[in-house]
Amino acid sequence: MIITGKYPNLRLRRNRKSNWSRRLVSENTLSVNDLILPVFVIEGKNKKIPIKSMPGIFRYSIDKLNQVVGNAVSLKIPMVAIFPYINKNLKNERGAEALNKNNLVCRATNFIKKKYKDKIGVMCDVALDPYTSHGHDGLLKSGKIINDETIKILISQSLIQAEAGCDVIAPSDMMDGRIGLIRKALDKNNFQDVQLLSYAVKYASSFYGPFRDAIGSKNLLKGNKKTYQMDYSNSDEAIREVALDIKEGADMVMVKPGLPYLDIIKNVKNKFKIPVLAYQVSGEYSLIVNSIKQGIVSNKIILETLISFKRAGANAIITYFADKIARDLK
Ligand code: PBG
């Protein structure tokens, strides 16, 4: 710590006295390049369905994706993340629909990449929760989520998503060892250029509630995800998770949820110097939106939260505010 004087000679308020000066000494900024927009897709035609638990967020049918993705492209948002709402009759114990080459995610990805080419990146989640009748990210056997069997399915899921044109494969399942095995499978199948974004540090969090509602897994989920997602009391363990995933070949890592985990983002960034993404999750989004709606806080808190991720060391932020903030930044 370097302090070169003291009051009254030294007055830290001097640098804050006017807007130009504050801009001059500002340490962190947010640009559109820092934003990733999640997009929910649903079967059918001409659908744009509001999600009750996430005011202002919709599920789009593929023919309506233009609206939201086209807008993201024109705002120069670098990437969208696709999440499917799978019809109940397509869900089963093993999440078989995840391996259908023509499933909703694959068709949506294909549509976006054909239409917008390299103007925007597409990222797809690798996990079974949208597809399973029990709402878990992996296979359930005698009350347990079985790791190694699940990975075999996740590998196939990754491959069909890559085949559909997905640029960034993002395993969010928290199985041990999946990053290395998925990397190997991608390389073997000529997908050397497909990036791997590991949800390396994903906590078992109550902030995911609205998302589970958005993808229709909320009422299906049996129990909780504590045997695979991390205990939110832990921080050293986050370093171990990231270290392993880097060794296994992750190009980027994610910390999730966002705001309650800024300390983790900072630790990971300082320690590993690799691209770190923050996920401002659905519960964070809805809390903020509802507080603004009720007039409890102003909408300026959105930017404040996003800058806090940058300050902590995040390279980019997945946020349901991405399009709104990108418009404001313009
Ligand atoms: C599931 C997944 C979740 C989210 C992204 N992928 C939920 C969960 O683990 O139950 C949460 C995103 C959000 O809350 O915005 N693999």
**Ligand 1 mean position to 138 CA, how many Å?**
13
Report residue 304's pLDDT band, with 50, 70 and 90 as the boundaries: very high
Q: Rounded to the nearest 5°, which phi and psi values hold at 236?
A: -60, -40
What's the pLDDT tens digit per position in 14-24? 999 999 999 99
Assign 182 to helix, strand or coil: helix
Report residue 3's pLDDT band, with 50, 70 and 90 as the boundaries: confident
Any atom of ligand 1 within 6 Å of the Cβ of 245? no
Any atom of ligand 1 within 6 Å of the Cβ of 125? yes
Q: How far apart are CA 84 and CA 207, in angstroms?
A: 19
Q: Determine the average pLDDT of the residues in 246-251.
A: 98
Residue 25: pLDDT over 90: yes
Residue 58's pLDDT is: 98
Any atom of ligand 1 within 6 Å of the Cβ of 282? yes
Mode of pairing for the β-strands spanning 316-319 and 35-42:
parallel
The token pair that represents 151 in the structure block: 């990975």
Mode of pairing for the β-strands spanning 48-50 and 58-61:
antiparallel
Annotate 270-294 with DSSP letters as a single string. Answer: HHH-S-EEEEE-HHHHHHHHHHHHT
Any atom of ligand 1 within 6 Å of the Cβ of 211? yes
Q: Residue 209 burial (CB < 10 Å; 0-12/13-18/19+)?
A: middle
Which ligand 1 atom sits nearest the alpha carbon of residue 282?
15
Annotated catalytic sites, by residue?
202, 256
Best probe residue, ligand 1, of 137, 202, 277 (max atoms within 8 Å of C-beta): 137
Q: How far apart are CA 252 and CA 170, in angstroms?
A: 9
Q: How far apart are CA 27 and CA 5, in angstroms?
A: 21
What's the pLDDT tens digit per position in 138-167? 999 999 999 999 999 999 999 999 999 999
Any atom of ligand 1 within 6 Å of the Cβ of 129? yes
Best probe residue, ligand 1, of 40, 51, 129, 222 (max atoms within 8 Å of C-beta): 129
Residue 273's pLDDT is: 98
**Ligand 1 mean position to 211 CA, how many Å?**
6
- Contact assessment for residue 221 and residue 212, using Cβ atoms and an 8 Å cutoff: yes
CA 63 to mean position of chain CA atoms: 23
Domains of the chain: 31-329 (3.20.20.70)
Any atom of ligand 1 within 6 Å of the Cβ of 57? no
**138, 203, 233, 324 from 56: Cα distances, Å:** 30, 26, 32, 10
Indicate which residue's Cα is closest to atom 8 of ligand 1. 208
The percent of residues above 90 in pLDDT, for the chain, comes to 98
Any atom of ligand 1 within 6 Å of the Cβ of 137? yes
- Show the 3-state SS of 40-79: EEECCCCCEEECCCCCCCEEEEHHHHHHHHHHHHHCCCCE
Residue 68's pLDDT is: 98
